[in-house]
């Protein structure tokens, strides 16, 4: 019996005969041979994947280390991060200080230069949301460090004041006055912990917001020995003001 290739059949290929006669040239055979050689050498496929994953993780770790340092520099100098437009390429004047510093450092740093060469739709960790997330993580870490020092003090005072931000959201500023003792030397310190949004502007609402925040960060209410506030009746009222409610809460 003789076999004959029929090239005129719809869907058939004119190169089937060549591929069967020379299977070593096919991509499947080449890939299978490479796998077999790795297996014979005692290498595993997952080792290459793990190596690639480690290299990629190390690259992005280096990227984030550089971005964190840029963000920390801007925060310490109290400089704005973004410019008039957020959706611009790094290096453009309208992009602001953050993207400008990234572009400047990329001229001398191949790691950041590689990131800038990525497409705008690719992951680059340069967006405003990533900046805000890193700022929040740094703020939380700093707050916990400050609270750890305050916790060593036997007592403290709280200075609070209400204000509103640019979005007209009411918030209270949290300042703690405490004593640090080192080598038998006592030093009075004031530590600003941050702003806390207020949903209820009444005396009871302010008291609950402040007390909940202090308990959340790990400061005991029973250690409070003083309360500083402005002259508003909601704060200073002797019968139903915030200071009166705080005295009642701290004595229980």
Q: How much is the average pLDDT of 23-30?
A: 70
pLDDT at 71: 94
Q: Could you tell me which residues are beta bridge partners of residue 224?
A: 156
Q: Say how far apart CA 37 and CA 34 lie, in whole Å.
A: 5
Pairing of strands 156-164, 170-182: antiparallel
pLDDT over 80 at 34, yes or no: no
Q: How much is the average pLDDT of 188-194?
A: 90
Structure tokens at 102: 């990234």
Q: How do residues 136-184 score in pLDDT, each as one tens digit?
A: 999 899 999 999 999 988 889 998 888 887 788 888 889 999 988 887 7
pLDDT at 203: 82
> Of 8-17, 130-139, 175-184, which range is least confident?
8-17
Distances (CA, A) of 128 to 71, 81, 137, 214: 11, 9, 14, 30
> Of 32-36, 146-150, 190-194, 213-217, which range is least confident?
32-36
Q: How much is the average pLDDT of 28-56?
A: 74
198-199-200 Cα angle (round to 5) = 95
Confidence class of residue 6 from pLDDT cuts 50, 70 and 90? very low
pLDDT over 60 at 220, yes or no: yes
> Of 15-24, 79-88, 122-131, 157-166, which range is least confident?
15-24
Whether residue 172 contacts residue 188, with contact meaning beta carbons closer than 8 Å, is answered with: no
pLDDT over 60 at 39, yes or no: yes
pLDDT at 192: 92
Confidence class of residue 63 from pLDDT cuts 50, 70 and 90? very high
Q: What are the backbone angles phi and psi of residue 162, rounded to the nearest 5°?
A: -100, 145
């Amino acid at each position: 019996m003789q076999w004959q290739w029929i090239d005129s059949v719809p869907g058939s290929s004119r190169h089937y005969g060549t591929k069967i006669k020379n299977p070593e040239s096919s991509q499947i055979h080449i890939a299978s041979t490479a796998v077999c050689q790795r297996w014979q050498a005692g290498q595993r496929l997952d080792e290459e994947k793990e190596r690639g994953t480690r290299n990629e993780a190390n690259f992005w770790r280096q990227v984030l280390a550089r971005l964190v340092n840029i963000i920390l520099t801007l925060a310490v100098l109290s400089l704005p991060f973004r410019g008039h437009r957020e959706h611009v390429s790094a290096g453009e004047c309208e992009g602001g200080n953050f993207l400008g510093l990234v572009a400047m450092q990329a001229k001398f740093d191949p790691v950041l230069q590689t990131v800038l060469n990525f497409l705008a739709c690719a992951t680059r960790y340069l967006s405003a949301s990533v900046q805000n997330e890193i700022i929040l993580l740094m703020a939380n870490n700093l707050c916990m460090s400050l609270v750890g020092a305050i916790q060593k003090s036997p007592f403290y005072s709280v200075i609070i004041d209400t204000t509103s931000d640019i979005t007209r959201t009411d918030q209270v500023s949290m300042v703690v006055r405490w004593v640090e003792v080192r080598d038998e030397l006592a030093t009075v310190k004031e530590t600003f912990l941050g702003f806390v949004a207020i949903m209820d502007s009444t005396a009871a609402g302010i008291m609950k917001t402040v007390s909940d925040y202090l308990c959340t960060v790990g400061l005991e209410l029973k250690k409070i020995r003083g309360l500083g506030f402005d002259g508003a009746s909601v704060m200073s009222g002797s019968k139903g003001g915030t200071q009166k409610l705080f005295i009642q809460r701290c004595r229980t």
